[in-house]
Amino acid sequence: MVTKVRTQVGRSAKQASGRTAECLQSDAQLKSLRERAVSFLGQEIRFIYCSEFESLEGDDTPIFEAEESLQELRGTSQTQRSASSAPASMDMEEAIALQNWSAPDPLLTFEQEQVLFRALNLLRYRINRLRSRLSATNPSRKAVENIEFKMDLVERIRTQLVSSNLRLVSSIARRFSTSFGDVDEFSSDGCMILLGAIDRFDFSRRFRFSTYATHSIQRHFFRAWKVRQRRKERFPNAAAEMLCEIPQQCNDIPVCEDPESVVGHLLSQAEHVLDEREHQILMERFGLAGRDKKGRTLREIAADLGISKERVRQLQMKALEKLREILDPDQIHQDFLPGMC
């Protein structure tokens, strides 16, 4: 009798333990579901409304067409990517730029643009309808998973639209740039404008998106170019560039009585004035680090830091300007002070 009672007690304890574990697991899942629902409710999902969206209730044909178009474009892109390669004469930096801004993703036809933009805005329209019925305290798992699936497809369509128009951004950036560094800067800005143009484009007006994006990017680049021109008119030579320039008529005059002490003083203060990257660039650029005391090129430093050569030059100028501010004027001949030579 005692053994039978003990067995029943053991079974009850196991059942209670199992129910407790299930409750804990259920609470954790509910908490995760609520967090995902709150995240969706906090996002602003914009879309371009079209009257046909209401008539497409329950009809997923535009979405299926977009998925088929994405698969077709992905296959074409992989084929072109495997067939294309950078020229042998091109260095690493130029090859990376070619790969980033001259992507082999195929250009979209008008029909492909219509299919992708229709599905993009239809999905966002349906996501907003699902969000309006979503509860933050007791969300439906099916609704949350449906929203996640639609948002994932939206991002895939948006990514394809960006990839297929990178050539457009690159070609416009090259027209407005005057150096290799400007191409990178204009291309980065152009991608941000391209993303905004994708979100604002009204496909129902049946215009080419490439035309709309071209006007948007060109307007932004022209405004940025005008700002640069005005800045150049006001400041023909930047202070950092003036620091590196020595007038020809002063070449025969020594800069200071004790150059080594001046350099030693600057180096002792450099770690406190410069950040880690600026300090590294100066030390390697002028051969102040290492035993051979041999300076490195901008290209070599850029490869180590993973940035462009133009960006290394800009950081070098910025670091020299910081050191110039702590330079003691009494140690330098008056002939080398600004405006004296």
Q: To 5 degrees, how large is the angle CA 143–CA 144–CA 147? A: 85
What residue numbers bound the domain in which 265 lies? 254-336
pLDDT digit string, tens, across residues 39-95: 888 888 889 999 899 888 888 999 999 999 999 988 876 666 555 554 454 444 444
Most confident of 3-12, 96-105, 106-115: 106-115
Residue 12 maps to a domain: no
Give, for 318, the enclosing helix (H) or strand (E).
helix 309-325
Q: Which of 124, 245, 235, 105 is nearest to 165 (CA)?
A: 105
Residue 315 lies in a domain: yes
Q: Which of 93-107, 258-272, 293-307 comes out lowest in average pLDDT? A: 93-107
Q: What is the pTM of this model?
A: 0.59
Structure tokens, 223: 């405004």
Rounded CA separation 29/196 (Å): 36
Same domain, 109 and 180: yes
- Identify the CA nearest to 338 among candidates 252, 249, 242: 242
> What does DSSP assign to residue 203?
G
Whether residue 263 is found in the same domain as residue 229: no
Q: Is residue 260 part of a domain?
A: yes
Same domain flag for 282 and 221: no
Tens of pLDDT, residues 196-232: 999 999 999 999 999 999 999 999 989 888 887 787 7
Q: Are 131 and 40 in contact (CB under 8 A)?
A: yes
List, for residues 266-296, the tens digit of each pLDDT value.
Answer: 777 777 888 888 888 888 888 777 666 678 8
